[in-house]
Structure 1
C-alpha cells in the first residue's frame, strides 16, 4: 500500500485552501478539491493526453481507496470527471470528504512526481497556480 506522503498532503491542503479563498465569492457548489483537479487537468492533458490523465486519476483513486474506504463509491468517467462524489455529499461528513479529496490529490501528485520528477510536477502546479508560493516545500 502506497500512502500519500505528509509533504504531498500538505501541498494538496495548501492548494485546496488557496482554491477555496480564490473562489469564495463565486458561489460555486463544486468542492474546492474538485476545482483543484479541474485546474490540473489542462497542463496534465497537454503532457499525457486525455487517456493518460484518466489513467493517472484512476490509479490515484485506486491508491486513495486503501486509505479512504468511502472513495470506493467514486469512479472516474471516460472524460476524467468523477462519478459518485456528488451523491456522497449527503452521506459522508464534509470533513471526511475534505480528507478524502486531499488523499486523492496527494496520490495524483505523488504518481506524477514518480513518473516525471519533482521539478516538472511542481512546474505543472505553478502553471495552474502562478500566484501560489511553493518555495517552502521540501520533498526529499
Structure 2
C-alpha cells in the first residue's frame, strides 16, 4: 500500500497492476536487540506467486499476510514466524519480540512449539552420542 499510495488516486489502479506484474518478492526486516548484546534481524518474506499477484492487482493487500502464512513451502514467512524462531533459540527476549509484532500470542505459541522441537532434537542427539553403532551404551 505504501508504494501505491504515493501516486495520485486516479493512477493507483494502473500502478497496482504494474506492480503486481513486476514484483518478484519482498523482504522486510526489523533490527532488534539481542540477549547477548548487539542486534539481530528478524525477517518477513513474501514471494510473488500468481495468488499474491492477483491480490495485489485487486488491491486486496490486507490479505497478503494469509498468503505468507500459507506459502511457507515457497519460502515465505511472517515476521512472527522469525520472531518465534529467535525467541525459541534464545537469541531475543519474548518482550522484544512482542514489541515488534502485532500478534504476540502467535509468537508465544510458535516459540513454545519450536522450543519443544529443539529440546526433542537435543535429547535424540544426546542419546545417539551415548550409544555405539550396535545400539548399546558405550562403556557398558
Structure 1 length-normalised TM: 0.30
Structure 2 length-normalised TM: 0.30
Which gives a bigger RCO, structure 1 or 2 (Cα 8 Å, sep 6+)? Answer: 1
**Structure with the largest fraction of helix:** 1
